[in-house]
């Protein structure tokens, strides 16, 4: 397995910079849309005394469609993780045949590397959301938006809550297992294709992860159901890779 991790260098050079670039592009796009909406959102008078009502952080985040940008970025990251393993992209099949390491072990290690890159993407989006929240508080002022505003927003808004589940352990576990399942599926797809088998698990799994990522605090059943799906996909993908009947060099 140590040799498999050493052999991951070429794939890492092809994927790390792409994942970082996608993460940066998503964060920049979210900041631009969020800031544009925040600055253009006029406070509304309310009540007989005309007290001004300012937009909630979760309202601005929802109007900015931050989860759409996240979902598009996640799909691009999955594509970036798959491409290095396809012969048409980097002639990886020829390279793998020259390595003194089993291809199945290398595929599992590759899946672990992909999972780490997905965690980096998730972390970058969580960091971007915190920076947007800071921008919100700086724009409205401490007397209007404080730490409690931030806490409530990340508890009530499904997308923000999914980024930082805090004490929501089922949701946190769902996210971690999803990264592992997507990462291994991205590594298994070219592995099976190189040996004449078609593997399509990654495509519906990535769409599911992108579309259903937002999850509120009251969606424990949905989080558990998604966890079962991702966990089953992870176990079946790992078993199919390891049970491969192909000869290893």
The whole-number pLDDT of residue 231 equals 95
pLDDT of the residue at 154: 85
Over 60: is that where the pLDDT of 11 sits?
yes
User: Which pLDDT score is estimated for 245?
Assistant: 46
Percentage of residues in the chain having pLDDT higher than 70: 76
pLDDT at 220: 84
Tell me the domain boundaries of the chain. Answer: 2-242
Better-scored residue on pLDDT, 12 or 4: 12
Q: Which two tokens stand for residue 76?
A: 């691009």
Can you give the pTM of this predicted structure? 0.86
* 51-53/44-46 β-pairing: antiparallel
Q: How far apart are CA 3 and CA 9, in angstroms?
A: 11
Q: Choose the weakest-confidence range: 33-42, 159-168, 200-209.
A: 33-42
Helix (H) or strand (E) holding 225: helix 220-242
Taking alpha carbons only, the member of 93, 240, 107 closest to residue 184 is: 107
Report how far residue 75's alpha carbon sits from residue 163's, in angstroms, rounded to the nearest whole number: 17
Mean pLDDT, the chain, as a whole number? 82
Backbone angles phi, psi at 166, to 5 degrees: 55, -110
Q: With bands split at pLDDT 50, 70 and 90, how would you rate the model's confidence at 47? A: very low
């Amino acid at each position: 397995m140590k040799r498999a991790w050493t052999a991951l260098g070429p794939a890492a050079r092809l994927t790390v910079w792409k994942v970082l670039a996608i993460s940066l592009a998503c964060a920049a796009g979210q900041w631009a849309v969020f800031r544009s909406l925040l600055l253009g959102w006029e406070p509304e008078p309310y009540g007989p005394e005309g007290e001004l009502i300012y937009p909630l952080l979760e309202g601005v985040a929802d109007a900015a469609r931050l989860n759409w940008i996240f979902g598009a970025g996640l799909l691009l990251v999955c594509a970036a993780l798959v491409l290095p393993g396809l012969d048409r992209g980097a002639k990886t099949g020829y390279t793998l045949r020259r390595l003194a390491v089993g291809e199945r072990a290398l595929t599992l290690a590759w899946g672990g590397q992909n999972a780490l890159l997905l965690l980096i993407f998730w972390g970058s989006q969580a960091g971007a959301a915190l920076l947007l929240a800071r921008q919100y508080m700086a724009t409205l002022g401490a007397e209007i938006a404080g730490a409690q505003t931030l806490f409530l927003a990340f508890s009530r808004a499904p997308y923000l809550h999914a980024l930082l589940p805090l004490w929501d352990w089922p949701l946190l576990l769902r996210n971690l297992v999803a990264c592992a399942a997507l990462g291994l599926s991205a590594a298994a797809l070219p592995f099976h294709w190189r040996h004449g088998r078609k593997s399509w698990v990654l495509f519906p799994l990535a769409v599911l992860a992108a579309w259903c990522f937002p999850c509120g605090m009251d969606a424990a059943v949905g989080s558990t159901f998604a966890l079962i799906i991702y966990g089953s996909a992870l176990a079946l993908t790992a078993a199919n890779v390891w049970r491969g009947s192909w000869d290893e060099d």
